[in-house]
Amino acid sequence: MTDVFVVQAQQCAALFRLGRDVEASLAMSELAGALQSAFDQAPPDNQQQWLQILGLMFHCQASQNWLALADYLEYELVQVITDSLSF
């Protein structure tokens, strides 16, 4: 399942980089919902990392900083997913 989350995060980042922010925002929302369910089963430290990156991503979204959001999705979030959900 981790691989699916990684691919979805990378695809979402690509959409933001292409300027398709509405489509990317919907995809990000779906991904965040699925990840929340997965992180609910993770240890508290991993949950904290998830919440931290989620907050940063939502801040970028609110300020419409699509490139920074794409970077968080493609690099930071992927790292948290692979470190925290690979069990």
Domain ranges of the chain: 2-84
pLDDT at 1 over 90: no
Mean pLDDT of 12-34: 98
| Residues 34-76: tens digit of each pLDDT | 999 999 999 999 999 999 999 999 999 999 999 999 999 999 9
DSSP string, 67-85: HHHHHIIIIIIHHHHHHHS
What is the pLDDT at residue 87? 61
The dihedral built from the CA positions of residue 47, 53, 59 and 64, taken in this order, carries a sign that is negative
pLDDT at 20 over 80: yes
